[in-house]
Amino acid sequence: MKILRLTTNVFKGLGKNKMRSFLMMVGVIIGIATLIVILSITQGANKKIMARINNFGPNAIMVHSGGGKMRGQIRGPSTVSMANLARKDLQNISSIEGVKIVSPFQLKMDMPIKYQSQFTTTTVMGVMPNWADAWKRGASKGDFIQTEDVELLKKVCVIGQTVKKELFPDSNPIGAELLIGKVKFRVQGILQKRGASPAGTDFDNLVIIPFSTASRRLMNQPKYIAMIRVIVDDPSHLKIISQQISQILRRNHHLASQEEDDFKLTSSTQIVKMIKSVSGTLHIFLLLIAGLSLLVGGIVIMNIMLISVSERKHEIGLRKAVGARSKDILLQFILESLVITLTGGILGFIVGILGVKIMEWVTNMPAVVSWEALALAFGFSFIVGIIFGVQPARKASRLDPVEALR
């Protein structure tokens, strides 16, 4: 009953000064809203990152020619102009214990392709038939690249969903002939949709052709291979197998101990490490901003409540005179602080969700609002209420009733 009576007094006291109560909440509202937005965007970004990692493959190693190129924080693809991987490298990598698939491919980016009056640019890959197993991605319609296509240097291709949308928006492309550069190719299949690559590029803006056709007829690179995709049996062996591949390539390429690698290896663990190192730093920075907002909000609450204690001396003295104990006064003011911060937390959570939805709509950035965010909002609100409500409550509880009534 005592708690109920105190709570009723708390709401009555706060209701008498609505504007002051709201101003005390503002700092908490801003801090909690910021926290919700940060956590939601971070979780959404992590979800997107994991989708990209799955696209890359948790048990895959990419071997790049020429050291590769940096695209943001992720190793971008090596094109035929950098190709320096030999057939011997391919054979030696295939013989490593624990290696399941070795799939070489040639690659050229921003190649012009045309169908009738439609024109676009895309990435062209020359692949072997086992590319589909290496990437777990075949043709959704029609046929993928066959062994016969490679052996006979056939001018056939399989196009990605983005290419299909741009060149064949309202028609079936299978059987149609398009120009890649200046060479005619017949479309024999459409690739399964995949989304973004680990480097953040559109992995559906892609045209697949036979490896031999790419090397000899289109990209003029019959001697070397641009990239090799290696699939291992056990993802836990990625590091060991990567080291073995590195040793083989250094030996085959006759590199002295002081010379740098003329190739680059990328695995899913490296991608996760690079992305998390960047996103983790940004996440900490943003959380510090949210924490600073809550700290400022707490200081504002404490200062306004200290002023409130001075204004309510007569009320406090009167309550003590009719039998209220110091701990009752202490509890009342702590409850006031908690009501303010918890209400601010609820409002901040609502504002944060609205902010997340607006950001999703404006920037198309993924975000995930979870129960952890709600729990943190209430947890931080409770902590701020307790920490910054204690000093005003102690000051109120220690007032002398005679002095207060005077």
> pLDDT tens per residue, the chain (406 residues)?
455 665 665 556 565 667 777 777 777 788 788 778 877 777 777 777 677 677 777 889 999 998 644 444 445 677 888 889 999 999 999 999 999 999 999 999 999 999 988 899 999 999 999 999 999 899 999 999 999 999 999 999 999 999 999 999 888 999 999 999 889 999 999 999 987 765 667 889 999 999 999 999 999 998 999 999 999 998 888 889 999 999 999 999 998 888 888 898 988 776 666 666 656 666 676 667 767 777 777 777 777 777 766 666 666 666 666 666 667 677 777 777 777 788 888 888 888 888 888 877 777 766 767 777 777 777 877 787 777 777 777 776 666 665 655 6
pTM here is: 0.65
User: What is the per-residue burial (b if ≥16 Cβ within 10 Å, else e) of 379-403?
Assistant: ebbeebbeebbebbbebbbebebee
Please identify, among 233, 255, 284, the residue that sits at the C-terminal boundary of a domain.
233
Q: How many domains does the chain have?
A: 2
* Residues 68 and 30 placed together within one structural domain of the fold: no
For every residue of 252-274, DSSP letters joined together read HTT--TTSPPSEEEEEHHHHHHH
- Tell me what pLDDT residue 70 has: 46
In the numeric block, which tokens belong to residue 232?
Answer: 């291992």
* Residues 365 and 322 placed together within one structural domain of the fold: yes
Print the domain residue range for 204: 60-233
* Residues 158 and 209 placed together within one structural domain of the fold: yes
Count of CB atoms within 10 A of residue 107's CB? Answer: 25
* Residues 95 and 169 placed together within one structural domain of the fold: yes
* Residues 15 and 73 placed together within one structural domain of the fold: no
Does some domain include residue 250? no
Does some domain include residue 238? no
Does some domain include residue 289? yes
Closest CA to 270 of 111, 110, 70: 70
Length of the chain: 406
* Residues 6 and 137 placed together within one structural domain of the fold: no
CB 324 within 8 A of CB 315: no
Does some domain include residue 239? no
Closest CA to 190 of 176, 201, 180, 200: 176
* Residues 85 and 181 placed together within one structural domain of the fold: yes
* Residues 25 and 149 placed together within one structural domain of the fold: no
* Residues 88 and 123 placed together within one structural domain of the fold: yes
* Residues 65 and 31 placed together within one structural domain of the fold: no
* Residues 342 and 198 placed together within one structural domain of the fold: no
Closest CA to 242 of 64, 382, 20: 64
Does some domain include residue 268? no
CA torsion angle for 221, 223, 229, 234 (degrees, to 10)? 180
* Residues 168 and 222 placed together within one structural domain of the fold: yes
Does some domain include residue 340? yes
